A and B are shown apart, each in its own frame.
Chain A
Amino acid sequence: VENVRLLDRLSSRRAVVGTLYLTATHVIFVENGSETRKETWVLHSQISSIEKQATTATGCPLLIRCKNFQVIHLVIPQERDCHDVYISLIRLARPVKYEELYCFSFNPKLDKEEREQGWKLVDLNEEYNRMGVPNNYWQISDVNRDYGVCDSYPTEVYVPKSATAHIIVGSSKFRSRRRFPALSYYCKSNNASICRSSQPLSGFSARCLEDEQMLQAIRKANPGSDFIYVVDTRPKLNAMANRAAGKGYENEDNYSNIKFQFIGIENIHVMRNSLQKMLEVCELKSPSMSDFLWGLENSGWLKHIKAIMDAGIFIAKAVAEEGVSVLVHCSDGWDRTAQVCSVASLLLDPYYRTMKGFMVLIEKDWVSFGHKFNHRYGNLDGDPKEISPVIDQFIECVWQLMEQFPCAFEFNERFLIHIQHHIYSCQFGNFLCNSQKERRELKIKERTYSLWAHLWKNRADYLNPLYRSDHGQTQGTLHPQIAPCNFLYKFWSGMYNRFEKGLHPRQSVTDYLMAVKEETQQLEEELEVLQERLANLQKSQSGNNKIKSKQQDRSKQFGLYTSNNSLANTPQEYSNDLKSFPSRSPSQGDEDSALILTQDNLKSSDPDLSANSDQESGVEDLSCRSSSGGGCLPSEDSGKDSDEAVFLAG
Chain B
Amino acid sequence: MEFAELIKTPRADNVVLHRPFHLAVEGTLCLTGHHLIFSSRRQDNAEELWLLHSNIDSIEKRFVGSLGTIVIKCKDLRIIQLDIPGMEECLNIASSIEALSTLDSVTLMYPFFYRPMFEVLEDGWSSFLLEQEFELLSSVTNEWRLSCVNKEFSVCPSYPPVVIVPKSIDDEALRKVALFRYGGRFPVLSYYHKKNGMAMMRSSQPLTGTNGRRCKEDEKLINATLRSGRRGFVIDTRPLTVAQQARAKGGGFEQEVHYPQWRRIHKYIERFHILQESFIKLVEACNDQSHNMDRWLSKLEASNWLTHIKELLTAACLAAQCIDREGASVLVHGSEGTDSTLQVTSLAQIILDPRCRTIRGFEALVVREWLQAGHPFQQRCAQSAYSNSKQKWEAPVFLLFLECVWQIHRQFPCSFEFNEHFLILLFEHAYASQFGTFLGNNESERAKLKLPQKTMSLWSWVNRPDELSRFQNPLYEANSLVIWPSVAPQSLQLWEGIFLRWNRPSRFLEEAEEERIHIIKYNKELQAKVNALRRQLAEMETDGEVQ
Residues of chain A having any CB pair with chain B under 8 Å: 282, 286-294, 296-297, 300, 302-303, 306, 310, 404-408, 465-466, 468, 471-473, 481-491, 493, 497, 500, 502-507, 509, 512-513, 516-517, 519-520, 523-524, 526-527, 530-531, 533-534, 537-538, 541-543, 548, 551, 555, 566, 568-571, 574, 584, 586, 626-632, 634, 637, 639-640, 643-644, 646-648, 650
Contacts and interface: CB of A to CB of B under 8 A. Distances in A.
A552 B494 CA distance: 50
Given A488-B494, A527-B529, A302 B321 contact: no
Contact of A631 (B289, B324, B511, B526): B324
A286 B195 CA distance: 31
A129 B490 CA distance: 44
A505 B410 contact: yes
Given A488-B494, A527-B526, A629 B291 contact: no
A576 to B, nearest CB: 14
A466 B519 CA distance: 8
B4 interface: no
Given A534-B533, A542-B544, A505 B508 contact: no
8 contacts: A297-B297, A481-B504, A486-B504, A509-B516, A513-B516, A517-B519, A534-B533, A643-B325
B290 interface: yes
Interface stretch (B5-13, B331-339, B535-543): B535-543
**For B311, B327, B477, B486, which residue has the most chain A Cβ atoms within 10 angstroms?**
B486
Nearest to B322: A644
Contact of A290 (B294, B301, B544): B301
A467 B111 CA distance: 44
A606 B482 CA distance: 32
**For B292, B293, B477, B547, which residue has the most chain A Cβ atoms within 10 angstroms?**
B293
B338 to A, nearest CB: 24
B137 interface: no
Contacts of A310: 291
Contact of B484 (A287, A466, A627): A627
A628 B294 contact: no
A90 B491 CA distance: 34
B490 A485 contact: no
B326 A292 contact: no
Size band of the B side of the interface?
Answer: 35 or more
B489 A293 contact: yes
A466 B513 CA distance: 9
A491 B490 contact: yes
Contacts of B487: 646-647, 650
Nearest to A511: B414
Contacts of B508: 404-408, 473
Contacts of A566: 477
Contact of A629 (B296, B304, B484): B484
B306 interface: yes
B522 interface: yes
A483 B290 contact: yes
Contacts of A574: 481
Given A306-B293, A569-B414, A486 B537 contact: no
A498 B380 CA distance: 40
Interface in B299-320: 300-301, 304, 306-307, 309-311, 314, 317-318
Contacts of A481: 504-505
A294 B480 CA distance: 38
B170 interface: no
6 tightest A-B contacts by CB?
A543-B544, A292-B489, A406-B512, A484-B296, A297-B297, A293-B301
A302 B301 CA distance: 14
B413 A526 contact: no
A407 B537 contact: no
B240 interface: no
A640 B485 CA distance: 15
A485 B500 contact: yes
B489 A490 contact: no
B287 A485 contact: yes
Interface of B: 195-196, 265, 285-294, 296-298, 300-301, 304, 306-307, 309-311, 314, 317-318, 321, 324-327, 410-415, 475, 477, 479-494, 496, 500, 503-505, 508-509, 511-512, 515-516, 519-520, 522-523, 526-527, 529-530, 533-534, 536-537, 540-541, 543-545, 547
A102 to B, nearest CB: 30
B385 to A, nearest CB: 14
A543 B545 contact: yes
B325 A627 contact: yes
Contact of B318 (A296, A634, A647): A647
B297 A650 contact: no
B481 A512 contact: no
Contacts of B296: 484-485
Nearest to B301: A293
A284 to B, nearest CB: 9
A526 B530 contact: yes
A294 B300 CA distance: 10
B164 to A, nearest CB: 25
Contact of A516 (B290, B321, B519): B519
Contacts of A296: 297
Contacts of A503: 486, 488, 490-491
A632 B318 CA distance: 17
**For B326, B511, B520, B530, which residue has the most chain A Cβ atoms within 10 angstroms?**
B530
Given A286-B488, A485-B287, A569-B415, 14 more contacts: A289-B307, A292-B490, A297-B301, A408-B508, A484-B290, A488-B500, A491-B490, A493-B490, A500-B490, A516-B520, A538-B540, A629-B482, A644-B325, A650-B310
B486 A290 contact: no
A502 B490 CA distance: 10
A500 B490 CA distance: 10
Contact of B291 (A291, A484, A526, A533): A484
Contact of A637 (B286, B293, B325): B325
Contact of B537 (A289, A405, A534, A570): A534
Contact of B479 (A406, A489, A533, A569): A569
A550 to B, nearest CB: 12
B529 A485 contact: no
Contacts of B321: 627, 640, 643-644, 647
B530 A489 contact: no
A586 B479 contact: yes
A543 B310 CA distance: 64
Given A471-B511, A530-B533, A566-B477, A483 B489 contact: no
A302 B530 contact: no
B523 A523 contact: yes
Nearest to B292: A484
A502 B290 CA distance: 34
B547 to A, nearest CB: 7
A541 B294 contact: no
Contacts of B304: 289-290
Contacts of A488: 494, 496, 500, 504
A472 B311 CA distance: 41
A500 B491 CA distance: 11
A555 B531 CA distance: 10
A523 B527 contact: yes
Contact of A297 (B298, B415, B489, B504): B298
A570 B519 CA distance: 19
A469 to B, nearest CB: 13
Contacts of A586: 479-481
A522 to B, nearest CB: 9
A523 B494 contact: no
B526 A506 contact: no
Contact of B317 (A300, A516, A584, A647): A647
A538 B479 CA distance: 42
B491 A630 contact: no
Contact of A407 (B484, B503, B511, B534): B511
**For A297, A555, A568, which residue has the most chain B Cβ atoms within 10 angstroms?**
A297
**For B307, B410, B489, which residue has the most chain A Cβ atoms within 10 angstroms?**
B489
B520 A631 contact: no
